[in-house]
Amino acid sequence: MQKLSYSKLFFAFLKLGAGAFGGPALVEYIRKLSVEQNSWLDDDDFNEGVALCQSIPGATAMQMATYVGLRTNGISGAVLSCSGFVLPAFLLMLVFSALYTHFHDFPHIISIFSGLNIIIVAIMLKATYSFGKTSLKDHKDIGLAIISAGLLWIGANPFLVVSGAALLGILAFKGEDVVVKSGGRGTALFHIKYILFFSVALVSAFVFLYFFSMKLFQLSLVMFKVNLFAFGGGYGALPLMLHEVVHVREWMNNKTFMDAIALGQITPGPIIITSAFVGYLVNGLSGAIVSTISVFTSSFFVMIIAVPFFEKLRISRYFYSITRGVLVTFTGLLLYVSFNFTLAIQWDIIKIIFAFLVLVALFKKINIFYVVLAGIPISILLFR
């Protein structure tokens, strides 16, 4: 496969990232860019990438941008495509974060976020439904999801819940048939030396931050860990981030975190860009930069490790059982977060009707970006 111009690859994904609204639908935009418009990959290459990205943690669209760069230009291409895709969202979130810190207590801003928080509740309920519809196949799945939500409700650590679900998945689903989708040509692109190099670089970065700034070290470690466990796309990271940012570290309260998610919905790119807002509120510009790099580095690192071994992983009963158990658990985690956010709102009849209409719009498959955008003026009128 002939390598692309680095500048062409970067600016192609920069342009795509600037208009990257629509969540999982972004994968189709990446397909059009890389398969239909430029023939960088063929359909088999791309489909194999989708199968891989749906099997490993991280936002699927972000992982696919990384995968395309990896297939066309190796490690350097992966860095460029990933960076170009996320840069517009990061810059816009920086602006929103700065404005929020100065104006969040203005009456109109309070009204806007009162409405947006209701929209976030509806979005989380819809995400829970979508996760459940995809991952809950029988009574064992439903039981595991309910247990996961219950454990969080009584204060269990979600990272332990996810790890436990992986082990339970091996026991509960070991007899299931493994369904292997397209692909089969293999993607053994990298030698073990690349994995060792990135491992050393990663440890060195953490050591540097530890001695340079303990707050930045903690922020980096939290965000790296959050996305490392976030199976099922960007929304899978939110329960983990909520736990770490609000309940464990107490860097912000529940309402502020909901505001962060709302801002993440009106920026392009994956919802996990919420990490930039968290980082900005914790430690300013340096916090936003470290937080964003850390949250995407974990999924990037998993991609580098997974690509050479994906053909063996995808036909492994153990891998299938583990991922199924984890994805089922994330339905429970999202259910818990939905209840948590619902209880944070002081409901009245107007807010209930507004939430119902938002849910109807989401189930009618109206783009989330347009729902949030329309919700801003409506919130000013209804909740002032």
pLDDT (tens digit per residue) in 368-382:
878 888 998 999 999
Q: What SS3 class is residue 377?
A: helix
Q: Which residues form the domain of 300?
A: 6-382
Whether 365 is covered by a domain: the verdict is yes
Q: Are 318 and 324 in contact (CB under 8 A)?
A: no
- pTM of the predicted protein model: 0.82
At 347, give phi and psi (nearest 5°).
-80, 145
Compute CA distances 36 → 15, 32, 41, 49, 63, whole Å: 16, 5, 9, 16, 19
**pLDDT at residue 185, rounded to an integer:** 45
Q: Are 120 and 341 in contact (CB under 8 A)?
A: yes
Cα–Cα distance, 243 to 254 (Å, whole number)? 10
CA angle (270, 195, 48) in 5-degree steps: 50
**pLDDT at residue 149, rounded to an integer:** 86
Whether 94 is covered by a domain: the verdict is yes
**pLDDT at residue 184, rounded to an integer:** 44
Whether 318 is covered by a domain: the verdict is yes
**pLDDT at residue 84, rounded to an integer:** 94
111-140 burial string, b = 16+ CB within 10 Å, else e?
bbbbbbbbbbbbbbbbbbbbbbeebbeeeb
**pLDDT at residue 13, rounded to an integer:** 93
Task: Please give the full DSSP string across 125-158, using - where no structure is assigned.
Answer: HHHHHHHHHHH--SHHHHHHHHHHHHHHHTT--H
Regions of the chain where pLDDT drops below 50? 180-189
**pLDDT at residue 44, rounded to an integer:** 79
CB within 8 Å of 232: residues ≥ 6 apart: 131, 135, 326, 327, 330
For 277, other C-beta atoms within 10 Å of its C-beta total 29
What count of Cα atoms within 13 Å lies in the side-chain half-sphere of residue 177? 3
Per-residue DSSP letter, 80? H
Compute CA distances 18 → 14, 270, 373, whole Å: 6, 12, 16
**pLDDT at residue 187, rounded to an integer:** 43
Per-residue pLDDT tens digits for 231-268: 767 778 888 999 999 999 999 999 999 999 988 888 88
Structurally, the chain folds into a number of domains equal to 1
**pLDDT at residue 315, rounded to an integer:** 66
**pLDDT at residue 183, rounded to an integer:** 45
Whether 1 is covered by a domain: the verdict is no
**pLDDT at residue 292, rounded to an integer:** 95
Whether 97 is covered by a domain: the verdict is yes
Whether 133 is covered by a domain: the verdict is yes
Report which secondary-structure segment, H or E, holds 101: helix 60-103
Distance between the two ends of the chain, CA-based, in angstroms?
A: 58
Cα–Cα distance, 383 to 381 (Å, whole number)? 6
Cα–Cα distance, 322 to 319 (Å, whole number)? 5
Compute CA distances 232 → 56, 61, 156, 325, 326, whole Å: 8, 11, 21, 11, 9
